Amino acid sequence: MNKILLALFVTGSMLSTAPVWAAQGDQVIIAEAAQNMVTIAQAKQLPDKTAVTLSGVIVRKTHKDRFELKDSSGKIGIQVDANLSKSMRLTAGDNVKVIGEVDTHNGQSTDIEVIQIGKMENSADKWTWFHRI
């Protein structure tokens, strides 16, 4: 009985701190990505879970939480949390800066899991940043 109670306590403790762990992980990714600004072509060659910063133009929405991003070196898929993409109102033609992790898939194309995304709001180079929750 004591083992069951201990297991329930440990599991509950882990679940209640999961958002804190994610936030700490996101902060590490953001810090690493600041040192790793790359082109889309370069990002496609990097290992899984590499933190990167990319910039480009949204080409199109490919799925409810997926978009195609383009720069002068190529195109790549980006995965943006649905709540984040709705609040940003991402559309084709938007200039964005993306901070995230390279996500390689066995037999499928590489994409970027977005942690933070900035959208150019006007021609004065003012970025509006959005963070995943």
Per-residue model confidence as pLDDT tens for the chain (133 residues) = 555 544 444 444 444 444 433 445 888 988 999 899 999 999 999 999 999 999 999 999 998 889 999 999 999 999 998 877 777 888 999 999 999 999 998 778 899 999 998 887 665 555 555 555 5
**Sequential DSSP letters for 5-44:** HHHHHHHHHHHHTHHHHHHHHHHHHHHHHHT-B--HHHHT
SS3 82: helix
- Cα dihedral across residues 133, 52, 29, 48: positive or negative: positive
pTM above the 0.85 mark? no
Provide the pLDDT for residue 2. Answer: 52
Task: Using CA atoms of 49, 55, 58, 62 in order, give the dihedral in degrees to the nearest 10.
Answer: -10
Compute the distance between CA of residue 114 and CA of residue 26 in angstroms, rounded to an integer. Answer: 10
Within 10 angstroms of residue 119's Cβ, the number of other Cβ atoms is: 18
Compute the distance between CA of residue 4 and CA of residue 19 in angstroms, rounded to an integer. Answer: 25
SS3 76: strand
* Both tokens assigned to 126: 């003012």
